[in-house]
Chains A and B, each alone.
Chain A
Amino acid sequence: MAFVVGGLYAAAIYMMLRRSIVKLVIGLVLLSNAANLLIFTASGLTRGAPPLINAGDVLPPGISADPLAQALILTAIVIGFGVLAFAVVLIHRAFEVVGVDDMDKMKDTDT
């Protein structure tokens, strides 16, 4: 998992360093997924032990998977989806208005 997360981060940053805006957004998608997987990995992976509590008990039997991390990822996925949908629409509109797909041509508001 650590290698997958690392690879995703690397790919995301590579894509974001390209000049094309479409690749920039692909980079953002990869980056948010990398962050989600990082939470998943960092909170500890437990295989085949759902956190189900037997009737009458207050604690799950033995070691079980952490549901909170998955709840976090679920929230982050939803937020990431919304924000990235906005970003995709934004680059579409920007392409219509500006007419180029190149960060180097978008310097009017700099300096």
Chain B
Amino acid sequence: MNVSVDVLVALPIVLPLLAGALSLVFWRSHAAQRMLGVFGSLGLLVVSVLLLFATWDHGHLVMEMGDWPAPFGIVLVSDMLAAIMVVLTGIIGLATAVYSLSGVSVRHERYGYYPLFHLLLAGVNGAFLTGDIFNLYVWFEVMLVASFALLILGGERAQMEGAIKYVTLNLLSSALFLSAIGLLYGLTGTLNMADIAVKLAEVEDTGLVTVIAMLFMVAFGIKAAAFPFFFWLPASYHTPKVAVSALFAGLLTKVGVYALFRVFTLIFNHDVGYTHEILLWIAMLTMLTGVLGAAAQFEFRRILSFHIVSQIGYMILGLALFTPLAIVGGVFYIMHHIIVKANLFLISGLTYQLKGSHELKQLGGLYRSNPMLAVFFMVPALSLAGLPPLSGFFAKFIIIRAGIEAEAWLAVAVALVVGLLTLYSMVKIWNEVFWKAQPEGVAHAQPASGPLIWMWLPIIGLALMTVMIGLYGQPIFEMAERSAEQLLDTSGYIEAVLGAGYVEALQESRR
């Protein structure tokens, strides 16, 4: 494998870091920071698409940092799942960067919005691409620190309250994650994920391995906002600027889901009957509580926040069923969800800009005044509920099909009911925001900090993407299929990272 391809693996991390550093250099020039925001994330998208193609052609791409050979050095690994996630990060990064042109005020920019924005993208990409468990922790922290600061940008009362809950639970999860890494290191003496997978297969004390697996499950469950650890999410996601909410909604919880996928396919696959059974129950309860929580809410972004929770359930369901088709469904669901959810948040921001409120009671009449916005709301909303021919239908269809094949009838029933309740919630927003007449005397358009076209463009782009995934889903499905193959056949990953013959050599030396 030639060198130039491997370098691609590091670029999605280096590029945002560079853009972030340059934004700091141009601290006083808001125009330069905005340009960097858009072109930096555009560059990230281009690089990530190249990475996706390279990964498609070559299989696993591995880069050893500083040329220290694995398992001693830190490796960056790009398999299909990681590459797909990086591309999605690029898409959401670009969409929010364009949206921020008019969605983020100069006051927020002065607090350092753009440098933090780039740092967050770097952290997210790092978490997707690393092949080292302690490095994963470090990237988590990079991402968290950036998200903490973005969350409280502006310093309003609600933001402070939301941030305290968010910071506490995420630090708790990091501490659990760190403890789990410590125990895992004590057990295997290595931090490289592929090497851990090899050595863990030989550990005889499987009880202890299961304990560590549970610690990881709780730590990533908190990050992914799975039941019963999701309370921080609806308490904080609706407080910051909408561009920040959309970024968080699209990416942050999905990093937790990605980590669950990675760890529970590669490392902890020794006792599937036990760990994945628990995951199955978590998934079902997550779906149910999320959607029921949403039904009780009457604030635009809070409803959407609760729906993030319920959708996380579907992804974990895909992992929990642990059949090839279910993993395909889970990956497909992640792709669909990131695009749709970020778009819904952006739409809520545009609604706020036009009507000056997030409360459903104070909104109304948007169908009359902005029929186009209503159409572009319908696309992601119906996709979220899973109506054909939009992307959500196929995502749900694959997972439910996998559930039927695995004869997990209860999970299938829950998934179907939750789909229906999601539709109820979306119709509620539709009725209140778009259909009913404008309530008297509460409407005030908010002054935007730029032309509204910058808010429209990402919404239209993401909505078109949703439709495209629905209509031409075949290539997306094939990508998800390839990533599921790679996730379930761990020998490919291990061989790519450690080199062919490593496992045999290890067994030889033990003898």
Contacts and interface: CB of A to CB of B under 8 A. Distances in A.
A41 B186 CA distance: 8
A40 B183 CA distance: 10
Contact of A98 (B161, B165, B187): B161
Interface string B143-166: 011001100100111101111110
Dominant SS at the A interface? helix
A65 interface: no
A28 B171 contact: yes
Contact of A82 (B145, B155, B158): B145
B152 to A, nearest CB: 7
A106 B161 CA distance: 6
A97 interface: yes
B239 to A, nearest CB: 6
A83 interface: yes
A39 B137 CA distance: 14
Given A32-B175, A83-B141, A94 B185 contact: no
A83 B160 CA distance: 16
Contact of A90 (B134, B148, B156, B174): B148
A109 B186 CA distance: 41
A106 B165 CA distance: 10
Interface in A88-111: 90-91, 93-94, 97-98, 103, 106-110
A86 B141 CA distance: 12
A79 interface: yes
A79 B134 CA distance: 12
Interface string B428-467: 0000000000000000000000000000000000000000
Contacts of B198: none
Given A98-B157, A109-B158, A21 B164 contact: yes
A10 interface: no
B186 A44 contact: yes
Given A32-B175, A79-B141, A108 B168 contact: no
Contact of B167 (A42, A43, A87): A87
B236 interface: yes
A106 B239 CA distance: 14
B172 interface: yes
Contacts of A36: 178
B164 A39 contact: no
Interface string A8-47: 0000000010000100100010011011101111111000
Contacts of B172: 16, 28, 31
B163 A39 contact: no
A68 B185 CA distance: 10
Given A83-B141, A86-B145, A108-B158, A94 B175 contact: no
Given A76-B178, A94-B163, A28 B168 contact: yes
A43 B152 contact: no
B163 A38 contact: no
Which of B162, B171, B185 is packed against the most chain A CB atoms within 10 Å?
A: B171
A72 interface: yes
Contact of A94 (B160, B183, B191, B234): B160
A91 B164 contact: yes
A104 to B, nearest CB: 12
B312 interface: no
B341 interface: no
Contact of B185 (A34, A35, A43, A82): A43
Contacts of B176: 35
B362 interface: no
B152 A93 contact: yes
Contacts of A75: 134, 138
B118 interface: no
Given A16-B168, A83-B144, A94-B160, A34 B238 contact: no
A1 to B, nearest CB: 12
Query: 4 closest A-B pairs (Cβ-Cβ)?
Result: A42-B186, A39-B182, A94-B160, A35-B178
23 contacts: A28-B172, A32-B171, A34-B179, A36-B178, A38-B178, A39-B185, A42-B182, A42-B183, A42-B186, A42-B187, A69-B182, A69-B185, A72-B182, A75-B134, A79-B141, A86-B145, A86-B148, A87-B168, A90-B152, A90-B160, A90-B167, A110-B231, A110-B235
Given A28-B175, A83-B148, A110-B231, 12 more contacts: A16-B168, A28-B172, A39-B181, A39-B182, A42-B183, A43-B182, A72-B181, A75-B134, A97-B157, A109-B158, A109-B165, A109-B235
Interface of B: 134, 137-138, 141, 144-145, 148-149, 152, 155-158, 160-165, 167-168, 171-172, 174-176, 178-179, 181-183, 185-187, 189, 191, 231, 234-236, 238-239
